[in-house]
Structure 1
Amino acid sequence: MPATDPFTLQSDATPSGSIVAPQQLVEALGGENLSPDLRWTNAPEGTRSFAVTCYDPDAPTGSGFWHWIAWDLPATTTSLPLGVPRDDASLKQALNDFGLRGYDGPQPPPGAPHRYQFSVHALPVESIEVDPESPHIAARFAIFSQQLASTDFTARYQVTG
């Protein structure tokens, strides 16, 4: 059988393994609070939609911190631009752990570096049938329990002092 190319995710603004770009940080840290540009390739056969998440597993909450949960991107989508608006009608976005719809960037407490995991999830359904007004756990459950595959990269950010 021929080898299949892996499902991959990249960003020019915040490459894998980098420090989160200043424009992705919240305004309180001097940023612009813009979601990074994302592009992905080689989604698995049977993909009918995508979801995007950004998660900080190092947040001192006992369960991490969700910065972005978006879903119902059509299967023809292979990228998102820098700064996806909170009211973008081409996808659904949940309230994040800041209590705001859409993306909000890093704002860790001073101390050790935090990891920010940006992921794209390939889904076998056109819609996960979750109301954006529901708590984001409903969307995350639908995404993670149905995904055909996911791809991600991690960037870091640290507040010192």
Structure 2
Amino acid sequence: MKLNVEGIEEGKPVPEIFAFGVFNPEDHMSFGPNRNPDMFWEGAPEGTKSFVVMMFDPDVPSVADDANQEGKTVSKDIPRVDFFHWLLVDIPASISRIPEGEDSDGVLPKGKDGGLGPVGLRGVNNFTQFLAGNPDMAGTYCGYDGPCPPWNDELLHHYHYEVHALDVESLGLSGEFDGEAVRNAMAGHVLASARVTGTYTLNPDLR
């Protein structure tokens, strides 16, 4: 199976149009256009009954105390964890494309709704936890929200855009399900997968 993510080349920077946060020399970061990229795939194996689309960053610091703090840096040696930016499940087998901006077009304070989205069923992304302490932004974030790594992180972040072909029409998930729930439900049902990886940073020393 082959996945194309329009505008994102393997190993190259993710364009700012797809980012939640963009570099600002005065304030470190400003809200970005936050559009989901156009994704299309082909070559799904026989027996495919649905698709899962996800995007995650495996380079998020496991301890975020120093993230985005003046006069501090997030050491590249801190252990890293997965941060899910996009979870769509139960995408019908007849669909092989998600157009740009279909699932997200701008930063929406307090998050987008879960449940059935324009394409598939939306899961909860990790901005829900990341912004929980910000009264202006706190909420449940579902669907796509793009890259926004700490602007003082010494590590370049990688963003894995993935599609998985499954042998079931539905994963049976409902309510506020997260990335771990999706991975657990997918186990044993994946017929094929494809991935495109881009990079992103807000650290001026790495740009």
Q: Name the TM-score class by shorter chain.
A: 0.7 to 0.9
| Contiguous gaps of at least 5 residues in structure 2 | 22-28, 63-79, 104-111, 129-140
1:95 aligned to which of 124, 127, 131: 124
CA distance in 1, matches of 2:119, 2:38: 15
Q: Which moved more, 1:112-121 or 1:126-135?
A: 126-135
Amino acid at match of 1:65: F
Does the 8 A contact of 1:95 with 1:132 survive in 2?
no
**Aligned residue number for residue 162 of structure 2:** 119
Cα offsets for 1:25-70 (capped at 9, x unmatched): 1145452111111010101111000000101011112422111111
- Structure 1 residue ranges, 4+ long, deviating more than 3 angstroms after superposition: 27-30
Once residues 141 and 29 of structure 1 are traced to their aligned partners in structure 2, the CA distance between those partners, rounded to angstroms, is: 35
Secondary structure of the corresponding residue to residue 63 of structure 1 = strand
Deviations 1:70-90 (A, max 9, x none): 111111111111123356243
Instruction: Name the structure 2 match of 1:84.
Output: 102
Q: Using a 3 Å threshold, how does the CA distance of structure 1 residues 66 and 141 change in structure 2: closer, same or farther?
A: same
- Once the two structures are superposed, the pairs formed by residues 1-161 of structure 1 within 5 Å of their partners are 7-27=1-21, 28-61=29-62, 62-85=80-103, 86=112, 88-99=117-128, 100-109=141-150, 110=152, 111-161=154-204
Contact 1:69–1:140 (CA under 8 A) maintained in structure 2: no
Gaps of 5+ in 1: 1-6
Change (3 A) 1:32 1:9: same
TM-score with structure 1 setting the length: 0.88
- The secondary structure found in structure 1 opposite 2:182 is helix
3-state SS of paired residue (2:101): coil
How far apart are the structure 2 equivalents of 1:53 and 1:45? Answer: 21
Larger radius of gyration: 2
Worse overlay, 133-142 or 38-47 = 133-142
**TM-score if structure 2 supplies the norm length?**
0.69
Number of aligned residues: 155
- Worse overlay, 45-54 or 141-150: 141-150
Q: Deviations over 1:81-130 (max 9, x none)?
A: 11233562431011100110111111111322100000000000111110
SS at match of 1:20: coil
| Secondary structure, aligned partner of 1:140 | helix
CA contact (8 A) 2:39 2:97 kept: yes
